[in-house]
Chains A and B, each alone.
Chain A
């Protein structure tokens, strides 16, 4: 019987890649959330239009609020994946926001899962990511995201256009690190 020895977070390359998300977090910390909200609102609207197939697998959980807590970011995200009125908003952690299901973990781990390059179950079993609240909703969201052709991160970068050019470079850098793992 062998014990697990190769989780994402204990890989040497993971040590390097965590620096970039930390820097992103530091850079975003002084930014007022009021400036971020319109960007998030546009992103979620456009993705809902482009990726309408996402909602089919969510079933009743298109009405569930998901709290996404990326460890390195200075805020949490709240997502309502409702095809008729999708919402994505940022909130400070001190706010007492209501949600149906939560997913949290380090940036790089969540990044590789969304990119389809990492197994979310294995990441959960190894305690690299955490889920809370309505487990069925979290499982539905995982299955819906996992069935998307390509990566939703590329959609975000595409929607952002020229304004997201620096972010595109950062993501390319992170993906090059991701491929070394």
Chain B
């Protein structure tokens, strides 16, 4: 990837380089992210305390403890996501996750639940807290509440805001802003989506799992058409040669009497890619760029983090980033700037 000579996105020298926050679903992915130039990696424990509680994924306490030095020695921060919602009577698991993060001296805990945030701020007052996108805090009032009550130092904004709206919020809050720049883009109602729960009985927000793989069935017919089911519901059917997707309800194609053909009722299978908006985001006050994808492979992490590392460095040097190679890693081979560019993005 090479930087072009033109400098259309000149940034004032006053802007600091944003932190590149990268996903790590396994120790191998953590090492891949660190080696590819991540400023910070975020990960979760192997239980329901994080919103990517997928089978075979995440870190045991021992694996996290063993992985932190690898990141630290290379100047990379480690953030622990404890960002699902604690449920009675099992909330001890969330408190224990916070305690583990504090004991291992992670650089920050990413929280969504106010009970977890309260416990962390009271029990470990020196532990830095970031507010997860799962908290769905998208107004200055909501963000200030978390800052004042729990000492939150950074908010991860929901993906429902335009760049000018982010800029306006930035002027009214006392904390840093982290924004997603690449990866899966879902239902614009983070922390409040109950679609998976409706079909499978498992909650994205409380069990940490959206469209559990145990409920997913793929079946290809003799013509090469691929059916994707979640539970008893067919979420999509892909013709031979057509790009497939994971059957999340919000990205399914559905038949209704009102339409002749199946259509995407909520969202399309598509990935967020804000490569061309990075300078505007920096100017709007975003100090950390987040790459989604703890559930993806180390190869994916390496490719995306390398590309974004080069892009951020190019921008800070006044050059144009080239992220055209990332299209092959997007969901369904499609990308969007989502609501960041316009509320009418669909």
* A113 to B298 CA separation, bound complex (whole angstroms): 10
Which of A61, A113, A126, A142 contacts B243 (CB under 8 A)? A126
Q: Per-residue CB proximity of B230-271 to A under 8 Å, as 1/0?
A: 000000001001111110000000000000000000000010
With A59-B56, A135-B216, A143-B55 as contacts: A3 and B333 at CB distance below 8 Å? yes
Contact A4 B328 (CB under 8 A): yes
Contact A57 B56 (CB under 8 A): yes
Contact A122 B56 (CB under 8 A): no
Which of B218, B220, B330 contacts A135 (CB under 8 A)? B218
* Distance (whole angstroms) from the CB of B26 to the closest CB of chain A: 4
Instruction: Indicate if B39 sits at the interface (CB-CB under 8 A).
Output: no
Contact B335 A1 (CB under 8 A): yes
Residues of B within 8 A of A120 (CB): 297
Contact A119 B300 (CB under 8 A): yes
Which of B28, B244, B328, B331 contacts A116 (CB under 8 A)? B28
Contact B218 A119 (CB under 8 A): no
Which of B28, B213, B303, B328 contacts A147 (CB under 8 A)? B28
Residues of A within 8 A of B136 (CB): none
Contact A1 B334 (CB under 8 A): yes
Instruction: Indicate if A70 sits at the interface (CB-CB under 8 A).
Output: no
Which of B26, B213, B245, B270 contacts A146 (CB under 8 A)? B26
Instruction: Indicate if A18 sits at the interface (CB-CB under 8 A).
Output: no
* Distance (whole angstroms) from the CB of A81 to the closest CB of chain B: 12
With A122-B328, A125-B244, A143-B26 as contacts: A4 and B333 at CB distance below 8 Å? yes
Instruction: Indicate if B309 sits at the interface (CB-CB under 8 A).
Output: no
* Distance (whole angstroms) from the CB of B318 to the closest CB of chain A: 26
Residues of B within 8 A of A4 (CB): 243, 327-328, 330, 332-334
Contact A2 B25 (CB under 8 A): no
With A1-B336, A5-B327, A139-B55 as contacts: A146 and B298 at CB distance below 8 Å? yes
Residues of A within 8 A of B16 (CB): none
Which residues between 5 and 44 of chain B lie within 8 Å of chain A, taking CB atoms? 25-29
Contact B25 A143 (CB under 8 A): yes
Closest to A58 in B: B56
Instruction: Indicate if A108 sits at the interface (CB-CB under 8 A).
Output: no
Contact B56 A143 (CB under 8 A): yes
Residues of A within 8 A of B153 (CB): none
* Distance (whole angstroms) from the CB of A1 to the closest CB of chain B: 5
Instruction: Indicate if B214 sits at the interface (CB-CB under 8 A).
Output: yes
Contact A6 B327 (CB under 8 A): yes
* A1 to B335 CA separation, bound complex (whole angstroms): 6
Instruction: Indicate if B289 sits at the interface (CB-CB under 8 A).
Output: no
Contact B213 A136 (CB under 8 A): yes
Q: Per-residue CB proximity of A103-129 to B under 8 Å, as 1/0?
A: 000000000010011111110111100
Contact B55 A121 (CB under 8 A): no
Would you list 27 pairs from A and B whose C-beta atoms are within 8 A, ordered by A residue? A1-B335, A2-B327, A3-B333, A3-B334, A4-B243, A4-B328, A4-B332, A6-B328, A57-B57, A116-B299, A119-B296, A119-B300, A121-B295, A124-B244, A126-B244, A126-B333, A132-B218, A132-B219, A135-B213, A136-B214, A136-B216, A139-B213, A143-B25, A143-B54, A146-B298, A146-B299, A148-B28
Could you list 12 further interchain pairs (A-B, Cβ under 8 angstroms) beyond the known A3-B333, A121-B246?
A1-B270, A1-B335, A2-B327, A4-B327, A61-B55, A118-B299, A119-B296, A120-B297, A126-B244, A132-B219, A135-B217, A135-B218
